[in-house]
Amino acid sequence: MAVDAARIDGLPLPSMAIDFLRDAWGIAQLHPPQAQAMPPLLDGRNLLLAIPTASGKSLVAYIAMLHRLLVVAPGSRAVYIVPLKALASEKHEELTALAEAVGLSVGLGIGDAAEKHNASTTAIFSSARPRNSIPSCGTRRTRWRT
């Protein structure tokens, strides 16, 4: 997909998403690692993005999710998983503001407590399960818990 990935207004997103990113969050341009991540994401390919803390990984994920939910597969859902409760709350607030601007809804699940989600919930944020509740993927045989 040929896009001007360095400029927010060059991304293949609905104008309401572009307007929100530019006007509410003050984003007009992507940083070089963010721009380099756009072509594979917008083409639907997987990507492992390893850039420093506070360099814009979340924005890359948000743009990929918006593209999928609003352009490629309207009516689908997205899941965003983070390792900490505080981070889940922070990301939930950010994406709730973005989602409201583009007509999507967001839910939040943390540990054993979760909001009730319905068919209109398009993105769900969750902190990861505690480390001791995740089965080992080592060489020994593991029984999966449900």
pLDDT tens track for 39-59: 999 998 988 888 888 888 999
pLDDT band at 87 (very low <50, low <70, confident <90, very high): confident
Q: Which one-letter amino acid corresponds to residue 112?
A: D
Beta bridge partners of 29: 7
Domains of the chain: 1-74 (3.40.50.300), 77-146 (no CATH)
Which pLDDT score, from 0 to 100, does residue 69 have?
A: 92
Q: Would the pLDDT of 3 be above 70?
A: no
Mean pLDDT of 15-22: 95
Which pLDDT score, from 0 to 100, does residue 133 have?
A: 42
Considering only 16-25, 64-73, 123-132, which range has the smallest mean pLDDT? 123-132
Rg (CA), the chain: 17
> Which structure tokens are listed for 71?
């352009």
Measured CA to CA, the distance from residue 86 to residue 110 in angstroms comes to 10
How far is the CA of 25 from the CAs of 34, 41, 89, 99, in angstroms?
16, 21, 18, 13
pLDDT tens track for 121-141: 555 555 444 444 444 444 444
Q: Would the pLDDT of 86 be above 90?
A: no
> Which structure tokens are listed for 113?
């407590």
Mean pLDDT of 69-88: 86
> Which structure tokens are listed for 132?
């001791």
Question: Is-contact 118 101, C-beta < 8 A?
Answer: no
Query: How many CB atoms neighbour CB 71 within 10 A?
Result: 14
- Name, in order, each residue with C-beta under 8 angstroms of 67's C-beta and a sequence gap of 6 or more: 11, 12, 13, 41, 42
How far is the CA of 104 from the CAs of 22, 30, 99, in angstroms?
18, 23, 5
Which pLDDT score, from 0 to 100, does residue 58 have?
A: 92
pLDDT band at 88 (very low <50, low <70, confident <90, very high): confident
pLDDT band at 4 (very low <50, low <70, confident <90, very high): low
> Which structure tokens are listed for 78?
């997205």
Question: Is-contact 16 71, C-beta < 8 A?
Answer: no
